[in-house]
């Protein structure tokens, strides 16, 4: 998807569509941060903790850095959407809120499994920055028609899928669902997350590539 979007960015730049290029670059950067953070999450899950929640807090700094990387990508996208699409209507405040939430997550002390559940719940907040993008494009979809509306809906559904994916593997949610689904709850939730995130990222890339054309 990064290569695909890179090609689209070059084409839009040659066409002189600066607003489309700015949005594409922001979406490219977001997906790149998803990639970097996933490497850290994989090391945290498979190399360090082996999905043993009892020791998550011992290696929490790896998880925190991964969260910070994703938050930076989301903040950049939200800032660009505000500046390039909304005419800087909100002065970047939602991007600043995302950064503030990620810093809070980074600095929050974690000494036990319960602490990790708490910080994992707090860590949802920065990732919900995608909901800001969803609201913006929902407004665009309502007020437009044709290709622009269809493109807006693609980005809307992509944002929903990724936001839901960020929620389903939350440590607090998995703990709450274990009485229902048993010891394999985390496996089930991670499988659902993988499907949702893969689909969401593909739709993000396709939607961003169509923007401005």
Asked if residue 115 has pLDDT above 80, the reply is yes
pTM of the model: 0.86
CA–CA distances in Å: residue 23 to residues 29, 45, 108, 115: 10, 32, 32, 37
Rounded to 5 degrees, what angle do the CA atoms 62, 65, 71 make?
Answer: 145
Of the listed ranges 91-100, 107-116, 175-184, the least confidently predicted one is 175-184
pLDDT category of residue 19 using cuts at 50, 70 and 90: confident
Of the listed ranges 46-60, 110-124, 162-176, 183-197, the least confidently predicted one is 162-176
Q: Is 182 helix (H, G, I), strand (E, B) or coil?
A: coil
> pLDDT tens-digit profile of 55-101?
999 999 999 999 999 999 999 999 999 898 888 888 888 899 889 88
Is the torsion defined by CA of 143, 149, 153, 159 positive or negative? negative
Residue that has been written with the tokens 């790896």 in this structure: 62
Q: Where are the domains of the chain?
A: 2-210
How high is the pLDDT of residue 61? Answer: 96
> pLDDT tens-digit profile of 30-44?
999 999 999 999 999
Residue pair 31/204 in contact by the 8 Å Cβ criterion: yes
Token duo for residue 156: 């809307």
Q: Report the pLDDT averaged over residues 133-138.
A: 86
How high is the pLDDT of residue 163? Answer: 78
Of residues 51 and 21, the one with the higher pLDDT is: 21
Closest CA to 166 of 133, 137, 126: 126
For residue 100, the tally of other CB atoms under 10 A from its CB is: 14
Which DSSP symbol is given to 49?
A: I
How high is the pLDDT of residue 51? Answer: 82
pLDDT category of residue 187 using cuts at 50, 70 and 90: confident
Token duo for residue 182: 């048993």
Residue 148: exposed, middle, or buried by beta-carbon count in 10 A (0-12, 13-18, 19+)? middle
Query: For a pLDDT cut of 90, what percent of the chain falls above it?
Result: 39
How high is the pLDDT of residue 213? Answer: 62
């Amino acid at each position: 998807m990064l290569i695909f979007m890179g090609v689209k960015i070059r084409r839009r730049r040659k066409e002189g569509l600066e607003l489309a290029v700015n949005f594409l670059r922001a979406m490219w950067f977001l997906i790149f941060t998803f990639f970097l953070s996933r490497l850290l999450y994989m090391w945290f899950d498979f190399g360090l903790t082996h999905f043993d929640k009892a020791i998550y807090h011992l290696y929490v700094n790896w998880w925190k850095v991964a969260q910070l990387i994703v938050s930076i990508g989301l903040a950049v996208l939200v800032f660009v959407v505000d500046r390039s699409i909304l005419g800087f209507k909100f002065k970047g405040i939602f991007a600043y809120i995302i950064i503030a939430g990620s810093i809070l997550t980074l600095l929050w002390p974690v000494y036990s499994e319960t602490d990790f559940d708490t910080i994992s719940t707090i860590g949802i907040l920065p990732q919900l920055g995608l909901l800001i993008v969803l609201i913006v494009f929902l407004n665009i979809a309502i007020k437009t028609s044709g290709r622009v509306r269809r493109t807006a809906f693609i980005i809307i559904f992509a944002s929903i899928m990724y936001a839901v994916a960020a929620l389903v593997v939350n440590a607090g949610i998995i703990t709450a669902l274990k009485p229902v689904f048993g010891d394999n709850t985390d496996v089930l939730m991670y499988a659902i997350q993988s499907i949702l995130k893969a689909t969401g990222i593909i739709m993000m890339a396709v939607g961003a590539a169509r923007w401005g054309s």
